[in-house]
Amino acid sequence: MKRPLKNQNIIIGIVCGLLMLTALFAGCTSSPATQPVTPAVSTTAAPATPAPTPLPTPQAVSTTKAPVVIATTSTPAPVYTYSEGNVVAFTAASLKGVSPKLAADFAKMYPGHKVVFNLDGTQALRTQVMNGAYADVFISASNAYTTELTNGGYFVDGTVKPLTSNYVIVILPAKNPANIQSLADLAKPGVKIALGDKSVPVGTATIAAIGNLAKSTYGQNWNTSVMKNIVTYETSEPGVATKVALGEVDAGFVYESTYTASPKGTYTAITIPKVDNYLQTYTIGVMKQSTSKSAASNFENFMLSTIGQQDLKDYGFRPVS
């Protein structure tokens, strides 16, 4: 038994249907030409534009665990920026600890400028950018990903510069539940080790360091046993540090900067000899898609300046040789 529809129901039905259809098409086909920079002028229905990532105060940092796509279009569309002095910096997650200091010092050096960090594993940021996410500056923890982005034409020519470097270190929970005294103990049966996944820069650096150590000092059996002791491949470097801090694993391979910057007493550390270690070089570059290139260049200049480099040094990063 169908209910006879009244006039107002019909009209509501049509309006809803058209709204949905417009939302659908707007999401699929909007191009930079039609998508405005400010949300005030909107030619599409409200549900269409994805909520612009709210820009917090410079001191706030956002750590994303899942890929965040700021623009849903195939060509990068400008994200909501409220002034020319804003910089969106896609940054390797290992800079999480130093990022508030960098933000404060950047605003001091360039009054009127603000930086917002999107911190995540470099591999995640690379995937986001290649699928249309907006960034002014990209700080990469791996030359491999920097090369990939350069070859894809994502950087402004001449702006890709080495920024800083980092060695790999082994951290243990402060209480050292497995009583690990040396790198050799990492091969003891039952020891739980956390590592970065091979797609994460710190992961490849760790595997390389372990390989070097096996070749020079500890042997292939040690290598095999250590790999057998790995219980998790984390998707970002801070993830490894968290598992160690929680005490759920006996050891984790992270960057030296994470250990140096951590509050005293959180971790115990075992250093890896420099000759076997893997020196990770970070690079910084201005993105071609940036709509505030002058602000982006200012940020890159700040990061390479004495103040920026000193901030990084204070948090355990090493200067580029």
Partner 1 sequence: MNPSPVFSEKIQRTITCIGAAVLVASVTLYLAFPVVALFFRTTPELFFSSLSNPDVISALFLSLFTSTISLGVVILVGTPFAYVHCRNDYPGKVIVDTLIDLPLVLPPAVAGLALLVLWGRMGILGQYLSLFGISIAFTTLAVIMAQIFVASPFYLRQAKSLFEQLDPVYEQTARTLGASPLRIFALITLPLTANGLVSGAVMTFGRALGEFGATIMFAGNLPGVTQTMPLAVYVGMEGNFTVGLTISILLVIISFAIMIAVRLLARREASNA
Question: What residues make contact with partner 1 under the rule CB under 8 A?
Answer: 5-7, 9-10, 13-14, 16-18, 20-21, 23-24, 28, 65-67, 121, 123-124, 126-127, 177, 192, 194, 197-199, 230-235, 243, 246-249
Cβ closer to partner 1: 121 or 308?
A: 121
CB of 218 to partner 1, least distance (A): 23
Cβ closer to partner 1: 222 or 233?
A: 233
Contact 93, 120 (CB under 8 A): yes
Contact 99, 117 (CB under 8 A): yes
Cβ closer to partner 1: 38 or 63?
A: 63
Question: For residue 76, what are its two tokens?
Answer: 């990068």
Cβ closer to partner 1: 23 or 68?
A: 23
Q: Which has the closest alpha carbon to 310: 319, 299, 298, 301?
A: 319
CB of 17 to partner 1, least distance (A): 3
Tell me the backbone φ, ψ of residue 304, rounded to 5 degrees. Answer: -90, -10
Instruction: Report CA-CA distances (Å) from 256 to 173, 289, 318.
Output: 15, 33, 9
CB of 223 to partner 1, least distance (A): 18
Cβ closer to partner 1: 267 or 315?
A: 267
The Cα 289–Cα 135 span in angstroms is 7
Instruction: Report CA-CA distances (Å) from 317 to 26, 120, 189, 303.
Output: 45, 18, 33, 13
Instruction: Report CA-CA distances (Å) from 236 to 198, 246, 253.
Output: 10, 16, 11
CB of 314 to partner 1, least distance (A): 30
Cβ closer to partner 1: 65 or 215?
A: 65
The Cα 133–Cα 147 span in angstroms is 18
Cβ closer to partner 1: 64 or 150?
A: 64
CB of 190 to partner 1, least distance (A): 10
Strand order, beta sheet including 267-271? 230-234, 193-196, 251-255, 168-173, 267-271
- DSSP, collapsed to helix, strand or coil, labels residue 257 as helix
The Cα 26–Cα 40 span in angstroms is 16
CB of 194 to partner 1, least distance (A): 8
Q: Which has the closest alpha carbon to 112: 187, 58, 62?
A: 58
CB of 248 to partner 1, least distance (A): 5
CB of 196 to partner 1, least distance (A): 10
Cβ closer to partner 1: 6 or 264?
A: 6
